[in-house]
Amino acid sequence: MEIRVVYADITQIPANAIIVNLFEGVTSLGGATRVVDGALGGTITQLIADGEIKGKLNEITLIHTQGRIAPARVVVMGLGKEADLTADRLRDVSAEALKFLHRKGAKQVATIVHGAGAGGIDTTVAAQSVVEGALLGLYVFRQHMTKEPDFEDIQELSVVEQDEAKRAAVEEGCNRGRIMAEATNLARNLVNEPANALTPTILAERAKALAEAWNLEYAVLDREQMSELGMGALLGVAQGSHQPPKLMTLTYRGGGSTSLGLVGKGITFDSGGISLKPAQGMGEMKGDMAGGAAVIATMRAIAELKPKINVTAIVPATENLPGGAALKPADVLRAMNGKTIEVESTDAEGRMILADALCYARKLELSPLVDVATLTGACAIALGPFCTGAFGNNQELVDKLIQAGNRAGEYIWQMPMYQEFKDLNKSDVADIKNTGGREGGAITAAQFLAEFVEDTPWVHLDIAGTSFSDKERTYRPKGAVGVAVRTLVNLAIDMAEK
């Protein structure tokens, strides 16, 4: 869908539909809604008086214009109570409006910048939220479907602004919203792919193609190079699969003294290995590389936005399968930093591949570090499907990530890292074991990772509960959500040298 900014009277735009808005409880119209109402002879005002339009959040009212203005239809979107308006609600409203018009067969749609007037939201933020909501809300994954879709795609979204003084702010917001949404949808595509269509080798090829398209540095380590570096934990997980493991890096050099490292778990399919998972729901384990997808997609957005910061993404990728050569419970592995790991469960594999990737990030002298991983079911149990867990050794970095997530509409909750949980990982036969038991499982997993970052400022994001949705919710589709992409981009922008 093409996004364009238009400076014109919204009643004169030749679109299939235009989108205006109304706050709950408002009876005296303002802004573009008042202009459209006047051109329609007071139709909106009459519908409010009749109680048909109440302005409740995501309420949709469709009005056919019958040739009285250039657009064929008008959609009045409810914004809810003015005091409750946020940028994330603007994403919701924009997504619901565009999905509704998509089902109505609209091809050209125009919208005002919701929230930038009476809503009091910064114009750039409002424009970004409207575009993000539209592109994220219209996302579908049809790569493997042969049947034609029920509705054709919306071809064009015009963002309308009549105040010339706001031109630069609206254009900046729309551009940033497009970049953020396209990167998020890239991550969604990667996570939604079945494991036979996205092996570690194919994921590495996708990352290389992205690097070439966006002028990023790219490198990949194969099994032999990993062995030379002593990545015994990653190689141990990989030994049950016929698919070779890959460790890929993408680097953006924007200048400045900061070299942010983003590490994403890339298990392209997780059967649990010898510690086999239950069959029910195992198909969702194609998405166990959502952390890797997030950091790859983040690099695309960073390359386009060009903040003044250096960023490197590292993705260790492998399958975790049972087999004659597979890792076994009670095996002992040696990670890149020399620490030995007793394998209590082969289904606690993500933390082991991240161990070597974090060591590699330290070898590259990246700091600070953020890792993103669908790491533990325990975190999903603790925080549910709407909140990502954050664990770290640097409070300033944790706070920055939470703030970046708030702006993205992605909830992040800080979890404890008490010494007592670290003690649960002690092994009788090695330096550390790869599970600390069921109780506090998300915390003991984070404490395991902490062994491999040492004193480097670091935050671990556990997205096990937030990476995949069992149903559609406004701009969050059923299936892969693309969580953490916009949060990480916000973080990089915040950390960039002005």
How many residues are there in the chain?
A: 498
* Phi, then psi, of 270 in degrees rounded to 5: -120, 100
Look at residues 475, 147, 468 and name the one whose alpha carbon lies nearest to residue 283: 468
- Which residues fall within 8 angstroms of residue 274, CB to CB, at 6 or more apart? 240, 322, 326, 327, 328, 329, 346
Cα separation, 393 vs 170, in Å, equals 38
Return the number of other C-beta atoms located less than 10 Å from residue 213's C-beta.
10
Strands 217-221 and 246-253: antiparallel
Cα dihedral 401, 468, 186, 369 sign: positive
Cα separation, 421 vs 425, in Å, equals 7
Active site residue 351: yes
Q: Give me the residue label for tokens 């219209």.
A: 138
Distance of CA 331 to the CA centre of its chain: 35
Burial 414-448 (b: 16+ CB within 10 A, else e): ebebeeebbebbeeeebbbbbbbeeebbbbbbbbb
- Which residues fall within 8 angstroms of residue 257, CB to CB, at 6 or more apart? 497
- Which amino acid is it at 262? L
| DSSP code at position 278 | P
Write out the two tokens for 279.
């069959």
Q: Give me the residue label for tokens 């925080």.
A: 383
- Which residues fall within 8 angstroms of residue 369, CB to CB, at 6 or more apart? 261, 262, 263, 358, 361, 362, 453, 456, 457, 458, 459
- Which amino acid is it at 264? G
Cα separation, 359 vs 336, in Å, equals 6
Q: Check 99, 351, 422, 486 and give the catalytic one.
A: 351
Look at residues 425, 467, 466, 470 and name the one whose alpha carbon lies nearest to residue 444: 425
Q: How far is CA 359 from CA 150, 266, 396, 398, 416, in A?
A: 49, 16, 22, 20, 23
CA 204-211-487 angle, to 5 degrees, is: 90
Cα separation, 469 vs 461, in Å, equals 17
Q: Check 54, 107, 208, 277 and give the catalytic one.
A: 277
Active site residue 246: no
Active site residues: 277, 351
